[in-house]
């Protein structure tokens, strides 16, 4: 007997009827180059917030946690995002400096999975990134500790308004840019007949080994 949730889920569309072909044999040698191509295609394909990425970490007991953040940059060092070092994910990355990233672009039927070691940015890099943020976003970081329980009678708006005064002169001691140096990158292209194409890059010294996976 079906449950109410099963009835809601059954038959929901997952991917568009028409999707771009993907030939692993024609893929570039570096996954960073292919990611840049796919990101551009996601933008052109109208994917909302294509730079949104799920970051997965583990705590000291090995329990996983995941949340969506915004990709800040991609260069030869890896994929970068930013958060407070005092946040749950910041503390988890300090204890276990390793993370997995998942990009899901439903409108073009694509997914990219990345995993690797994580390193924090320098004080200069962190400060520069913090000062590029919107003033209200900076004030929110300074006003309280992310994910702490809000005390009774405490007002987030009031705290942010206090921090906005003179915000152009304020820095953050905890704001940190984290970079995931990819050790594995998998590109997943959906197929309407469920014959999905999966290409995995594995870091091997200064280069990459490519493997085509079973769907």
Q: Which CATH number belongs to the domain containing residue 31 in this structure?
A: 2.30.110.10
In a domain, 14, yes or no: no
Residues in the chain: 215
- Does the pLDDT of residue 149 top 80, yes or no? no
Among 28-37, 113-122, 147-156, 204-213, where is mean pLDDT lowest?
Answer: 147-156
- Looking at residue 145, its pLDDT comes to 67
Would you give the distance in Å from CA 86 to the centre of its chain? 18
In a domain, 19, yes or no: no
CA atoms within 13 A on the CB side of 102: 10
The pLDDT tens digits of the residues spanning 2-24 come to 899 999 998 888 888 888 889 99
- Looking at residue 73, its pLDDT comes to 98
- Does the pLDDT of residue 48 top 70, yes or no? yes
In a domain, 9, yes or no: no
The pLDDT tens digits of the residues spanning 85-133 come to 999 999 999 999 999 999 999 999 999 999 999 999 999 999 999 999 9
In a domain, 160, yes or no: no
Domain count for the chain: 1
DSSP of 114-157, one letter per residue? Answer: EEEEEEEPPHHHHHHHHHHS-HHHHHHHHHS-TTPPPPTT--HH
Q: Which of 159, 201, 160 is nearest to 183 (CA)?
A: 201
- Does the pLDDT of residue 150 top 80, yes or no? no
Residue 88's domain spans which residues? Answer: 26-133+173-213
Average pLDDT, the chain: 93
In a domain, 150, yes or no: no
- Does the pLDDT of residue 144 top 80, yes or no? no
């Amino acid at each position: 007997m079906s449950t109410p949730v099963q009835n809601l889920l059954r038959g929901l569309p997952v991917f568009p009827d028409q999707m771009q072909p993907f030939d692993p044999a024609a893929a570039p040698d570096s996954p960073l180059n292919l990611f840049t191509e796919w990101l551009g295609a996601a933008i052109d394909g109208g994917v909302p917030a294509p730079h949104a990425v799920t970051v997965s970490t583990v705590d000291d007991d090995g329990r996983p946690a995941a949340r969506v953040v915004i990709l800040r940059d991609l260069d030869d060092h890896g994929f970068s995002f930013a958060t407070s070092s005092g946040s749950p994910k910041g503390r988890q990355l300090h204890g276990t400096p390793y993370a997995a990233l998942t990009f899901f672009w439903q409108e073009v039927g694509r997914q990219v999975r990345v995993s690797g070691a994580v390193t924090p940015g320098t004080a200069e890099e962190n400060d520069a990134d913090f000062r590029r943020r919107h003033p209200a976003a900076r004030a929110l970081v300074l006003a309280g500790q992310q994910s702490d329980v809000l005390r009774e009678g405490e007002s987030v708006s009031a705290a942010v308004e206090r921090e906005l005064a003179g915000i152009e002169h304020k820095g953050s001691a905890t704001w940190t840019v984290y970079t995931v140096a990819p050790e594995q990158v998998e590109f997943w292209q959906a197929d309407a007949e469920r014959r999905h194409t999966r290409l995995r890059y594995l870091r091997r010294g200064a280069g990459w080994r490519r493997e085509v996976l079973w769907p």
